[in-house]
Amino acid sequence: MSADANDGLSRRGFLAISAATLGGVMLAPGIRLIEIAGARAPEQSVSRQVRWGLLIDTNKCAPGCDDCVKACATENGLKDTGHPRTDAQWIRKVELKDMRTGRANSVPVMCQHCEHPPCVDVCPTGASFKRADGIVLVDRHICIGCRYCIMACPYKARSIVFEAITDQNPDVPRGNGCAEGCTLCVHRIDRDQQPACVEACTKAGHNAMFFGDLNDPHSEIAQRVAKYASTQIRADFKLNPGVRYQGL
Amino acid sequence: MAEYLIYHELGGPSRRFWSLLGLLAVPLALAAIAYFYMEHYGHIVTGMDNQIVWGMPHVFAVFLIIAATGALNIAMAASVFGKAVYRPVAPLSALVSLALLAGGLALVMLDLGRSDRMVVAAMQLNPESLLSRRVIFYDGYMASVGVYMWFLLEPRMNRYVKPVAIVAFLWQLLLITSTGLEFGFNFRAVYDSVLYAPMFIAFSSAYGAAALILILLAACGWEGRDVSGELLRRLKNWLGVSVGASLFFAILFLGTKYELVRSRDVARFLLFDGGVYTALLWLGQIALGGVVPLALLLRSRLSRSGIAAAAAMVLLGGLAQMYVTLIGGQAYPQILFPGMIESSSYFDGEIHPYAPSLVEVLLGLGGVALAASIVAIVLRAIALLPERLDPPAKPQA
Ligand code: SF4
Ligand code: SF4
């Protein structure tokens, strides 16, 4: 479908590494790489050259902290209805404990914005779709609520809305009976802002989340991915998620 | 050819027929109420939640769809493989298949989160999606079975029955295999096994034959007619072989899940500590739907009521199987981090509870009633029942 969106780790890794070396030499001190990544012309905002992604440094993510989860709820108008089993959750903190070593970790999990998204493969109407820049979304106008995407997603990233919704955030339309999931705050990205979760994590001083263009060798995220060992959740499924984890 | 095959409509006094329809209208009306209730309040009134997103209506729907593809087997045996003994009931076999499929698909539609947008599914087909490919398979299947039925019943077209039957057979194979693979290709731990494809073929053969036998016996009982002993014996054996194959694949599936270390936990869940799913697997799917009817069917002399009882057990066991497969498959946690204990506000790492609500059960039963009503009405309106149910004297296409 979109092999062009990501040509695999090796080429990107190579580009990122060479760019990182060059960047270190050529950039004036004080200019942050991420600002260059964000400085695209508006008409380039949805481009196949871009692959938006997240990097989560689990060493910095504190157990019990849910700043990202709260920020997501506020930004996207997700309210607690008092029915936790049916409420939508776009991002959640998963507490982990290694069965053999006892090592504990706490990681935020949201839609992984897969390069080969099974949710898109199964959707009968095309409501579930991947944007050219790698963001996987649901078009609430044509979703028929079949829930097949929820069955197909291996990351439990999708929810279905069980009740009528009031007081919506105009930027983030939601609908009773429709599927939904993390949009990577696409409405903010298109305004050159960071996703709400990343912003909240940074603001609180945790600095555990990085957002950026994985395809852009100058971006902080690409450089970090090139420099540090990172993993994808269930990499064995070969879906090539755009969300990467460091320190797992 | 086939002069001895004269078909006629379902007879009997019309008052009796109308009371049958009146009886069937009760579950249909209840299902309609259930649907509007769900449609009005949203799926919050069902037992489903964001972990168990496909509930009881899907259990019935997938069961009916699986049975539908299998119900055609008898017709295919007659028209593709030349088994003349089944020729008299070939049109009935095709009708039961279409009716069960209609019941199952209606349930899929009515259980949509946005069933008001049903047409969107037809207008906006995403050609790359698995499910849309299924929609095409359904259409192809229904069209080819329809043409096949017409050729069967129209004497002038009779000689072209075989090629048309082969086309229907290929669609049937495509439909049942893709249904099985949809589970087989899913990442969830209970699924994720290509054995789903052959296993679903066996299941469909058993459920379809059981449904056909019950409907045949009911239709003949309705008019006080006898089914030929030979036909019944063959149908009984067919059901027996299908139930045996279903058991074989189920055991192979569970056994391989258990043997492979990576899937042992999920096999343990199904086999030993899955609570209601374990109980339904052993008592419902294996005992009631498998071992007991198989023991009955293996007897060389089995009365009509014995055969009917075995068929009914196979169907009940089939519903249990579908519940274990669909609900159990969702109840078992999705593993994001193998080797780690997971917990979260989204119930990661937990077995998810589910209790079907009344509306879901009523909707599901409505799908069964819809299939039964279609069979009753079409049998009354169109001459599909053979005048004689004896085996024909000579082989035919
Ligand atoms: S994480 Fe799930 S919802 Fe998100 S793109 Fe992948 S399959 Fe789709
Ligand atoms: S629930 Fe909506 S987005 Fe998901 S597969 Fe069905 S139609 Fe597509």
Distance CA B224, CA A230 (A): 74
Interface of B with A in 120-139 (CB under 8 A): 120-121, 124-126, 128-132, 135
Q: Are A125 and B120 in contact (CB under 8 A)?
A: yes
B12 contacts: CB under 8 Å, gap ≥ 6 = B222, B223
Task: Tell me the average pLDDT of chain B.
Answer: 92
Clarify whether residues A115 and A190 are in a common domain: yes
Q: Is B220 exposed, middle or buried (0-12, 13-18, 19+ CB in 10 A)?
A: middle
Cite the beta strand spans of A39-99 per DSSP E.
Answer: 52-57, 91-98
What single-letter DSSP state applies at residue A64?
A: T
Q: Quick check: A231 contacting B, CB < 8 Å?
A: no
For residue B191, pLDDT over 80 is answered with yes
At B231-256, the pLDDT tens digits run 999 999 999 999 999 999 999 999 99
Of the candidates B42, B124, B186, the beta carbon closest to that of A142 is on B124
pTM of the entire predicted model: 0.90
Q: Check which CATH number belongs to the domain holding A193 and give it.
A: 3.30.70.20
Q: Using CB atoms and an 8 Å cut-off, which of residues 48-107 of chain A contact chain B? A: 69, 83-89, 92-100, 105
pLDDT digit string (tens) for A112-169? 999 999 999 999 888 999 999 999 999 999 999 999 999 999 999 999 999 998 888 8
Query: Whole-angstrom Cα distance, residue A15 to residue A215?
Result: 9
Q: Are residues A96 and A206 in the same domain?
A: yes
**B343, A159: Cβ pair inside 8 Å?**
no
Same domain? For A141 and A60 the reply is yes
Q: Which of A147, A160, A161, A182 to mutate to test the pocket of ligand 2 (most atoms within 8 A of CB)?
A: A147
pLDDT for B386 equals 85
Nearest to B126 among A125, A177, A237 (CB): A125
Number of domains in chain A: 2
Minimum distance, in Å, between the CA of residue A99 and any CA atom of chain B: 5
Q: Is A157 in the pocket of ligand 2 (CB under 6 A)?
A: no
**Based on the domain organization, do A229 and A174 belong to the same domain?**
yes
Same domain, A48 and A32: no
Q: What is each CA distance from B392 to B78, B88, B230, B385, B396, in whole angstroms?
A: 12, 8, 11, 15, 9
Tell me the shortest Cα–Cα distance from B191 to chain A, in angstroms.
11
Q: Are residues A8 and A110 in the same domain?
A: no
Residues 20-59 of B with CB under 8 A from A: 41-44, 48-51, 53-54
Structural domain harbouring A20? 2-37
Give me the residue label for tokens 């755009």: A242
pLDDT band at B226 (very low <50, low <70, confident <90, very high): confident
Query: Do A142 and B330 make contact, defined as CB atoms within 8 angstroms?
Result: no
Domains in chain B, please, with CATH?
7-334+347-386 (1.20.1630.10)
Q: Are residues A24 and A109 in the same domain?
A: no
CA distance B341 to chain A (A): 5
Distances (CA, A) of B236 to B74, B212, B214, B300: 12, 11, 11, 10
- d(CA A181, ligand 1 centre) in Å: 8
Cβ contact A188:A179 at 8 Å: no
Residues A223, A170: one domain?
yes
Collect all residues with Cβ–Cβ distance below 8 Å to B168 and sequence separation of at least 6: B72, B75, B76, B94, B141, B144, B145, B147, B148
Same domain? A22 vs A112: no
**A75 plus A19 within the same structural domain:** no
Q: Please report, for residues B111, B221, B376, B378, the alpha-carbon distance to residue B20 in angstroms, rounded to integers and kept in the order given.
A: 27, 14, 9, 13
Q: Are residues A26 and A90 in the same domain?
A: no
Same domain for A189 and A154: yes
Is the separation of the CB atoms in A215 and A51 below 8 Å?
yes
C-alpha angle A45-A49-A53 in degrees, rounded to nearest 5: 75
Residues in chain A, pLDDT under 70: 1-45
CB distance B265 to B222 below 8 Å: no
Q: pLDDT tens digits, residue range B41-100? A: 999 999 999 999 999 999 999 999 999 999 999 999 999 999 999 999 999 999 999 999
